Chains A and B, each alone.
Chain A
């Protein structure tokens, strides 16, 4: 009986989604604001990547909210794992291929992540993507080496990067009266030093997201199986 009711509910929801998807004319310009961004974006913000100019310039305040949501999630996980007692982690020794390969690949992964968030205003990518790539490099290090990384430095990096974002926004308030005003010169489009404050904010977001996700991984990796069973 329960399965039957569930099936009916799934059918209702699925038909609703399908009907609403058929109503959307895909590919046609829907709003005036999208065309405005596409036509005026490069001229007004200096960023060649229109997605970046929307994310950090037109909708910069939303991005601040996103970063804060991620920060609160990492903080909550840290609080939950704080209640467990910490021991030295006991894992089986990694295989030769994993330990040698990850030691070789780690600097290149960091370099690629830094490239992604440094070129966020020129090519696809940005702070969130680059930060996630940096954190995956740290995941590889956690899997391959026995030594642990100092977590205080992750927290310090994260806080400093968040402060840089906020301070740049407040400097914009000082110069023109609204938050995240692009007060630096926009420069020549398509060059690395262009688009004013956008590269600086993306570097800060890259460091912040990378440190946060690496902190989440280290929080999870460091308590052992036995304690979790004692809790539950």
Chain B
């Protein structure tokens, strides 16, 4: 279990760093969506299912969609 949590935290860290580094904004948005999804899994493992549900539906779902719409209206490359 502890190994799984450490793997999730490292994947989250990698997602966060790549969201800052990527020049293609679509890739950066997908990386930040992955960060939100892993955060939701971690909230669930820490026995906070209410927060996990909000994070998965708002952070990983709607915010990613709204960012993709915004990128479609503006520039894709940084």
Contact = CB atoms under 8 A, between A and B. Distances in A.
B11 interface: no
Contacts of B53: 116, 124-125, 129
A193 interface: no
B57 A132 contact: yes
Interface stretch (A31-39, A96-104, A153-161, A216-224): A216-224
Contacts of B69: 217, 220-221
Interface in A201-232: 213, 216-217, 220-221, 223, 225, 228, 232
| Chain B interface, >50% SS class | helix
Most B CB within 10 A of own CB, among A139, A223, A232: A139
Given A124-B53, A128-B54, A129-B50, A135 B72 contact: no
A228 B73 contact: yes
Most A CB within 10 A of own CB, among B50, B61, B69, B74: B50
| Chain A interface, >50% SS class | helix
B66 A216 contact: yes
Contacts of B70: 220
Band of interface residues on A = 20 to 34
A182 interface: no
Contacts of B45: none
Given A116-B53, A126-B50, A129-B50, A220 B66 contact: yes
Interface string A40-54: 000000000101100
Nearest to A120: B50
B61 A125 contact: no
Given A124-B50, A129-B53, A129-B57, A139 B72 contact: no
Given A125-B50, A129-B53, A225-B72, A139 B58 contact: no
B72 A133 contact: no
Given A125-B50, A228-B73, A228-B74, A136 B57 contact: yes
Contacts of A132: 54, 57-58, 61-62
Interface string A118-145: 0000001110110011011001000000
Interface of B: 49-50, 52-54, 57-58, 61-62, 65-66, 69-70, 72-74
Q: 7 nearest interchain CB pairs?
A: A124-B49, A132-B57, A129-B53, A51-B50, A132-B58, A124-B50, A228-B73
